[in-house]
Structures are given as structure tokens and as C-alpha cells.
Chains A and B, each alone.
Chain A
Amino acid sequence: MGFVYLIQETVALLTPMDLLYCFVAVQLGIIFGMLPGLTATVGIAILTALTFQWDPGNAILVLIGVYVGAIYGGSRSAILLNIPGTPASAATCLDGYPLSRSGNAAQALGLATTASFLGSMAGLVALSFLTPVLGGFALEFKSYEVFWLAVFGVAICGNLTAAGDPVKGWVAGLLGIMLSFVGMETIQGFRRFTFGVSELMAGFGIIPVLVGTYGIVEILSSLSDTTPEQRVPQIGRTLPHLRDVAANWVNIIRSGVIGVFTGVIPGVGENIGSFVAYDFAKRASKHPEKFGKGSIEGLIASETGNNAVVGGALVPVLALAIPGSPPAAVLLAALFLHNIRPGPMLVIENPMYMYRFSAMFLLASFAMFVLGILIVKPLLKLLMIRKSIMMPIILVLCMVGTYAIAGRPFDILVMIAFGLLGYPMRKLGYPEAPFVLGIILGPMVDENLRRGMLLSYGNPAAFFVSPISIALVIMTFFTLFGRTKALRSVFSIALRPLRSTMRSVGRTFGLLRRNGNSMPPSTDDEDDRRRRQSEEETRL
């Protein structure tokens, strides 16, 4: 029955005016998403103000269009310039940019569009048919569960690196977490690492950090590069081959489901969804080594993931009046301002609204797909512009975008500083993606860990009670000590210093002969580790 309602409402929306509003809004959203610094949250907030006096139907349609467009739009600049327009597209950079470097920009843009569209469809299914079910699921995520989710996020940092050096991924992630601790924390209002600087009290915003580590670094490195610029001839078609998409159907469904669930969980948004989807895709892939070097699977996972989050994040908005992500929070406020009261009463008072809302979302997703495919060709022209012309203009946009978030000059300084930190990090092989993820995860881990402690009166056992917690702990464990090739090597790297230390300790005490037979008898576990270790060494 729900399906019929959805079709009904969609048909009702197919008037020329509604279509025009929708397309203009989605196009605006795409532009907002593409520009570094301007995110979906800012886009919706600005449009809320501009559409305040409008008829609620059109205003909400415009806001949904901007949301869908902005999350998608971030992938454009990520693929073409290696500067993610929004934090949600940071995982798209990992594979999108290498694809574009190798002359497959058109294909990458087309695939990302298709993947985003399919992700939106996953979100649509959740939004229109599963809202009551998933709404309850959202409430299952309390402090302990969100804490473990964040820990899981930290664990996947080691997997978000192209160089195959997980330690550097973790170092980058942990550094991000450290820097996220700067400022006033939420639990006791204590000012950490602020050194009396009042500007530091609000901490480092995710946007200045993102624009700095990607945008400024890209500007610095491409302008200071003296090797003659070469334009990579762009080949390949925009509309993806059906077989490329079909070959990835498991990946798409998996990423869609991950995206929806990440979206549903309150306070965890598209920024995290794409990373988790990417990590899962990498571990399930037959070619994990291609990830980070232009893997189509990785690109699809990330883009399906972040757009599926949009639909997911709107589920608790409708079901419980709880936003699933920061942009959804602004959208929720806009709904209230337009006299629409989502929440548990919606189903009783206005049962059809859910379908009207879903229909708007559906329309926006179609608009995104059509516009996305249409603007690929003009966007490719961006690659033909000389870097020396392009980069200064991008810098101006970076400045403007960063300032626009909060109207604070200090943020621009933060952006430049993170550019300066990011430059050597990139040169030394420390990936940006986990760094940005760390900045996002830091406050989540901190807040929920300590709140959990307060709730349990300092008893850590409470962290291991609920089934979701245990599932997340197991997932984290497998991420760290899993059996896939890449992870096994991580394991051996982690153990190598331990072994060497043991060896040197043994040597000091004169216990260890060259063949090592006077070592204490090892357990099976130890044998297993050693076997992996030798495997590792033969591969080197």
C-alpha cells in the first residue's frame, strides 16, 4: 500500500513549477557541495532563511533538494581536484582522484553519480517503507553503543590508506583525534589544550580542517610543483556501463545498507557513513590492493554510502523528530518553522506526509542523477584549465567557504595552519582521510566514553552489556586482527617490535642462542603469530 501512496504523491509533484524548484535547488546544492567549505548544513541553513516566507510545500522541496545535491556535489571536486567539497566526500577522494588522474574522470564522475543515485534509492526505501521500524532502532544507540561505533571508526583508520602502511593510517587518525580534543569539552565544560587562547575554546571545526588538509595542501603542492603540467587525455564514457554497475551489486547493496543504518543513528552522519562503507568494501573485495589507487569498487562504496545516509538520517527526523545527521537537524528546524511537526505524532496526525516527504526525496534524487550526468562534460573542462589560473581562484573559494561556516577569521587561520601540517604529512605518506575521520570521531569517543562512565558509576563492564555493543566490539576486533591479507600484515607489523624486543631482551640475558631453541615453549597462539611473521618476511 505504501508503494501506491508514494507513486501517488510523486505524480502529484510532477508539475512544471515543482520540477523547476527541485532542479534549481538540486543544482544549487551541487554547487554548494562542490565548493570547498560550503556543506549541506550551511546550504540548508541559508536556504531555510531564503525560503522562510514561501509556501511550506515548495520550501521543504527546495531544502531536500539542496541536501541531496550537496552531499552528492562534494564528490565532484573530490574526483576532479582531490579537494572534497564536503567531509562526506573525503572517502571518495581516495579512489576518485586516482581514477581521474589516469584519464578516467568521466567514468569516475558518471559512476559516482550512478552510485549516489542508487544510494539515494536505498535511503528512499528506508524512508518511505521502514521508517517505523528503523525509528525504534535509532533509540537503541545510546552512549555505550555510539562509543563502540566511534572506536570501530578509529580501527578502520588503518585501512584508509593507499600506501599499504596501516601504522601511518593510525598515526594520522590518532593525530586527528588528539587535535579534536582542543577546546571546551561537553561533559564538564573543561577547556583542554587552549592555553588561555579564547579562540581555541570552540576547538577546531571540521570544515577549516578539511579545507586546510585537502584544499590548501593541494594548492601548495600543485603550485610549487615544477614538473611541466601535463593534461591527461580523458577517455571513457559518462554513463557507466551496466556491467560495471551490475558487477558491483553486492557492494552497492552493502554500502546502501551501511549508509542507511549510519544515517539512522542519531548524531552520526554522512561523514562517517562513507568511510564505513569504504572499509567494508575494501575488506570484502577480491582486489583490496587496488583500493586507494583508483578502485571502482571503492568509489562506488563511498558514494553509495554517503547518499544512502541522507535517506537514513531523515528517518528519525520523521519518526521521532530526532535528526540523524547535522544537516538533518537544520532540516528538522525548517520543518518546525514551516508548521510541519514531524515526530511520533506525524503518523497519527498526518499519515500521508511521510509519503509526500519521500516523494520529494525521490524527485530530488532523480534531479540529482539527471543534472549530475549533464554537468559531467562541462566539469571535465575544469581539468583543462591551467593550475596557475585555477588554484588561486580555488584558494579564494576556500577562504570564503571556511569563513562562511561561522563568520570567524580565526577559522581561516586554522585552515592555513592545517594546510601547513598537512603538507609534510602528505609528503611523508600519512593519509589525510583518517586524519579527517579522527577529527570527526574524537569528540564522539570522548563524550560517550565519559558519559558511559558517569552512567555506570565508573564500571567499565557496562560497556559490554548490550548486544549492539558486543557486535561492535567483535567488528572492531576483526578489523584490527582480521584474517584478510592486508590485515594479517598489519598484525605482523604490530608484533614485530614485540618480537624484536623479546629477542633483544633474550640476548641480554644470554638466554637466546642463534636458533632460538632456548626460548620458552610457545603456545599455539604464539606459533600462529610466528607463522604469519615468517610469511610476512618472505613476502618482503
Chain B
Amino acid sequence: MNGNSGMPRGDFIVSVILVVFSGWVIHMSLSMRRFGELGLAASPGLSPLVFAILLLVCGLILLRRSVAQRGYRMAWSGQKTAVFLRAVETRHFIVVLATIFIYYLFLGVVHFVMISAVYVFFTIWYFKGVVWWKNLLISTLSATIIWYSFDQVFLIPLP
């Protein structure tokens, strides 16, 4: 099992990203400002440099391993991409992410209880959790309870 994660292609892509990323960090950290007479030894770039080199080593190990398992052979086909895009998982993922993001954007604009209740209601509705009136009850109650206990009792700021 060791050294073989069973996903050489994923490893290959990640390792390339890692190598590029750590190279960029090495470049950045070498060009960071140096203070005092100690130069690099006390400069803000020292630790990023050291850890970027370690990351580079890990990236290269991963790269070497995935190349040995022929992870560079990418089998992109239009058909596969289409299947992926049309899959229910993908749609769900995008919907969940989009609702989270919309929720975030409205926080602070609309009152917390309202936007939270709407968010919970929508998500439960979309994933067909329960019948609508139970849903309404759950979403408003949970949003109100959270708002009350945070904002009113513990004085924790809410967005």
C-alpha cells in the first residue's frame, strides 16, 4: 500500500502544482526585504524559503512516483467531461457552494434571522428533507434560537 495511493493522475497534477507553487514561493522569499546585518538569517523570507524547499522535495517525490505509475497520461475526452458535468454530484456541489456564497453575500445586508432562515429553508427544500411546513418550522426556529442565544444572551457579534 505504501507509496501507492491508487491515483497516479491526481498525484501527477498535484505534484506539478506543488513544484510550480513552491518554486514561486522560493522566488518570493528570496526577494523579500532583509533587515539588519544578519541578512537572510533573520529575514522574513527565511522560513518560507526553508519550507518551500521542503515542499519542493515532497512535490518532486510525488512527481517521480506518479511518473513511474504513468500518471502523466491524461485521458481527457469530451464525453467524460460531459458526463462529469451532467452528474448529479456536480450539480449538487455547485448548488451547495452557490447558496453558501449567496448566503455570505447577504449576511450583514439582510437581518441575520431572515437570511439564515431562508438559507436553511432553501437547502432543506432543495434536498427534499421534509414537507414544507416542517421545513419552515425548522428553519425559522433554528435561525431564531441561534440569533437569540448568540446576540442576546452571550453578546457574541453576529454578521
Query: Hey, which bits of chain A sit against chain B, CB under 8 A?
Result: 38, 42, 46, 49-50, 163-165, 167-168, 170-171, 174-175, 177-178, 181, 185, 187-188, 190, 192-193, 216, 219-220, 223-226, 386-389, 391-393, 395-397, 399-400, 403-404, 407, 409, 412-413, 416, 420, 427-430, 442, 445-446, 449-450, 453-454, 457-458, 489-490, 492-494, 496-497, 500-501, 536, 539-540
Instruction: Evaluate whether A165 and B2 lie within 8 angstroms (CB atoms) in the complex, with A175-B55, A404-B157, A458-B42 already known.
Output: yes
Contacts of A429 in B (CB 8 A): 5, 7, 10
B114 within 8 A of A: no
B85 within 8 A of A: no
Cross-chain contact B157 with A165 (CB below 8 angstroms): no
Write the chain A residue with the least CB distance to B93: A224
CB pairs A–B below 8 angstroms (24 shown)? A50-B154, A167-B62, A171-B55, A174-B55, A181-B47, A187-B44, A188-B43, A192-B32, A193-B28, A216-B100, A224-B93, A389-B130, A393-B120, A393-B138, A395-B123, A396-B146, A400-B158, A403-B158, A404-B158, A449-B47, A449-B50, A458-B42, A493-B2, A497-B61
How many residues belonging to B are interface residues under a CB distance threshold of 8 Å?
72
Tell me the bound Cα distance from A302 to B1 in angstroms.
26
Q: Mark B38-61, 1 if CB is under 8 A from A, else 0.
A: 110111111110111011001111
Cross-chain contact A178 with B52 (CB below 8 angstroms): yes
Additional pairs, 6, CB under 8 Å, beyond known A167-B3, A225-B92: A168-B5, A178-B25, A192-B32, A224-B96, A450-B42, A458-B39
Cross-chain contact A397 with B52 (CB below 8 angstroms): no
Query: Given A428, A457, A501, which contacts B10 in the complex, CB threshold below 8 Å?
Result: A428
Interface centre among B45, B50, B129 (most CB of A within 10 A): B129
The A contact surface, by secondary structure, is: helix
Which 5 pairs from chain A and chain B are nearest by CB? A388-B127, A224-B92, A392-B123, A446-B47, A388-B129
Cross-chain contact B157 with A170 (CB below 8 angstroms): no
Contacts of B142 in A (CB 8 A): 393, 396
Write the chain A residue with the least CB distance to B14: A428
Interface centre among B33, B93, B96, B130 (most CB of A within 10 A): B96
Cross-chain contact A192 with B48 (CB below 8 angstroms): yes
Contacts of B58 in A (CB 8 A): 167, 170-171, 174
Cross-chain contact A225 with B158 (CB below 8 angstroms): no
Write the chain B residue with the least CB distance to A166: B2
Tell me the bound Cα distance from A540 to B124 in angstroms.
46
Contacts of A489 in B (CB 8 A): 2-3
Tell me the bound Cα distance from A386 to B50 in angstroms.
46
Instruction: Evaluate whether A391 and B123 lie within 8 angstroms (CB atoms) in the complex, with A224-B93, A400-B146, A454-B42 already known.
Output: yes
Write the chain A residue with the least CB distance to B60: A497
Write the chain A residue with the least CB distance to B92: A224
Contacts of B156 in A (CB 8 A): 38, 42, 46, 400, 404
Q: Mark B117-159, 1 if CB is under 8 A from A, else 0.
A: 0011001100111100000001100110010001000111111
